Structure 1
Amino acid sequence: MRTALLVSAVLAGSAFVATPALADDPTAPPSAFTITGSAGVWSQYRFRGISQSNNRPVFQGSVTVAHASGFYLSTWGSSASAGNSTVNIGGSEIDVYGGYTHALGSTGVTFDGGLYGYLYPGAPAGNYYEVYGSLAKTYGPATGKIGVNIAPNQKAFDYYSGANYNVYVYGELGFSVPGTAFSIHSHLGHTGGGFDYTKDYIDYNVGVSYKWKSLTFDVSGVGTNVSHKNARNNPLVDQTGTPSAFQTYRAAKAVVVGSISASF
């Protein structure tokens, strides 16, 4: 989700310096920049259905600087633990991404697209970037979204078998329960290409969130369609260098993930 931290800090500082001067002038226009963020703890970190933290708890946080024009710049970070898992992202992940979002005329459809970089300070050979785009529309309390992330040929694929590109397509459906602080969310995605996990696979996420003031409590079911058979036929190497069907399946099996986060 990281050089961008410095840019964000500079922009944030500029916004905060400008705000007091404008506060005394009721005729002054509002700042064109907004700064939002969040931080919290998750029972584990799952990325596209696959555990990135050896099924252990993590801390995560994000900061976004957005302009009224629709352009934005964000950074996101997470801790991680490799343990004896088949996935080792080096102890942490920091993502930097930026793009543009805008409503498409009077259709009610919102476009969002940009460039996303995944950085792993403890395992830099795995650094890579994606181009992303999505369309979303809200119908009353329901919101639907479809999107695609494309990772073109780059050095990260030298360390993976299979294709030298990856395509991730997904759909999401959310519903805010009227008159309550509860919301329901769901996600279904497909990974195909160089980031396959034993095979082209499907991941899913279904959960319930409750918002209280600036806090959000969430419980979700997360998993993939990677089976015991897939893991036995295509075991990945664990941290001891040994092919392990057990660890291969463990990182992809269905689990319940809980989180508590605060937004600002």
Structure 2
Amino acid sequence: MRTSIKALLASTLFVSTLAVASPALADETAPPSDFKITGSAAVVSQYRFRGISQSNNRPAVQGAITVAHSSGFYVSTWGSSASAGNSTVNIGGTEIDVYGGYTHGLGSSGVTIDAGLYGYIYPGAPGLNYYEVYGSLAKTIGPVNAKAGVFFAPKQTVLDFTPTHHSTYVYGELSGGIPGTPITLHSHLGHTGGGFNYTKQYIDYNVGASLTWKNLTFDASVVGTNVSKSDAAAAPFADQTGTPSPFETYRAAKAVGVFSVTASF
């Protein structure tokens, strides 16, 4: 009799344990969400955009967040501080970018397409706000990742005062990790032509290496343009005092070393 009662109690306890554990098991096997949120925060020795300093060659703090759907659609926002100082480039102290698009692989080709709309917002200088449409193709070839793309800014207010009322930026990138190490080598080459010329149609470049440790990425790069001192002297931009300054025009475009630390989450 005691043995039967003990067996009954044991059976009841076992069934009760399964009942309590079932929700946990169900949670563990639940399908992953179709949405994924990622973000980053960075400190950079200076903020360069298409080779031109946006922070008067001074440090900046940056951050980003992206919400992506499994279908390939995504929306993102990115922001940076910027100190104009006496520079020929004054974006009002802050930049906030908002963009969204669609990315997807093309069958079994290994090629990934990415296209969307990109908006640049300058709270301290709203007259500079503008937007671009963009598209790119990317493919991994052996250990190398290759990418080519274009940004096109159609006619809009910020471009009304330029000889051409639109601007086009085309670029190519190559990158690849060093086997057996956390180091990645990367390069970028771009060309600006149209309303966003800097003294002339110009080429910008970026060559560097990054090291990843846990969720941190350390990067060291050489960033610059083909804008020369003579180009700056022939078509100088005005500094913050309103005086055309060949020195500041060249300083914002010359080659420099840029260092950054980025935390991803």
Q: Same fold (TM over 0.5)?
A: yes
Preserved contact between residue 188 and residue 204 of structure 1 (Cα < 8 Å): yes
Match of 2:223?
A: 222
The amino acid that maps onto 1:191 is T
Match of 1:48 in 2: 50
Asked if 2 retains the 8 angstrom alpha-carbon contact of 1:111 and 1:135, the reply is: yes
1:15-30 alignment to 2 at 5 Å?
Answer: 24-30=26-32
Aligned to 1:234: 235
Letter in 2 for 1:152: P
Choose the corresponding residue for 1:137, options 126, 132, 139: 139
Counterpart in 2 of 1:149?
Answer: 151
**In the alignment, does 2:189 pair up with 1:188?**
yes
Residue 70 of structure 1, aligned match among 69, 72, 81: 72
Look up the match of 1:127: 129
The aligned counterpart of 2:60 is 58
Q: What is the Cα deviation at residue 162 of structure 1?
A: 2.1
AA in 1 matched with 2:80: S
* Equivalence map 1:9-20=2 (5 Å): none
* Residue number in structure 1 paired with 2:110: 108
Native 8 Å contact 1:22 1:28 kept in 2: no
Shift of 1:23: 8.2
Is the partner of 1:25 in helix, strand or coil? helix
Query: 1:56 is matched by which residue type in structure 2?
Result: R
Q: 1:113 to 1:42 in 2, by over 3 A?
A: same
User: Following TM superposition, by how much is the alpha carbon of 1:24 offset from its aligned partner in structure 2, in angstroms?
Assistant: 4.9
| CA deviation vs aligned residue, 1:188-242 (integer Å, no higher than 9, x gap) | 0000000000000000000000000000000000000000010000011110000
**Following the alignment from structure 2 to structure 1, what is the Cα–Cα distance between the partners of residues 56 and 233?**
19
Q: Is structure 2 residue 201 aligned with structure 1 residue 200? A: yes
Does the Cα contact within 8 Å between 1:150 and 1:166 map onto a contact in 2?
A: yes
Structural mapping, 1:236-251, within 5 Å: 236-251=237-252
Secondary structure in structure 1 of the residue aligned to 2:28: coil
Q: Which runs of 4+ in 1 moved over 6 A?
A: none
SS at match of 2:27: coil
5+ residue gaps, structure 1, are 1-20
Relative distance call for 1:73 and 1:22 in structure 2 (3 A) is: farther
Counterpart in the other structure of 1:262: 263
Which secondary structure does the structure 2 equivalent of 1:69 belong to? coil
Partner of 2:100: 98
Distance in structure 2 (CA, Å) of the matches to 1:82 and 1:23 = 56
Residue 39 (structure 1) aligns with: 41
TM-score by length of 1: 0.90
Q: CA deviation at 1:251?
A: 0.3
Deviation at residue 141 of structure 1 after TM alignment: 2.0
Q: Does 1:168 align with 2:166?
A: no
Report the AA paired with residue 231 of structure 1.
A
Give the Cα separation in 2 of the matches to 1:109 and 1:57.
36
For 2:171, the aligned partner's letter is Y
Identity of aligned residues (%): 70
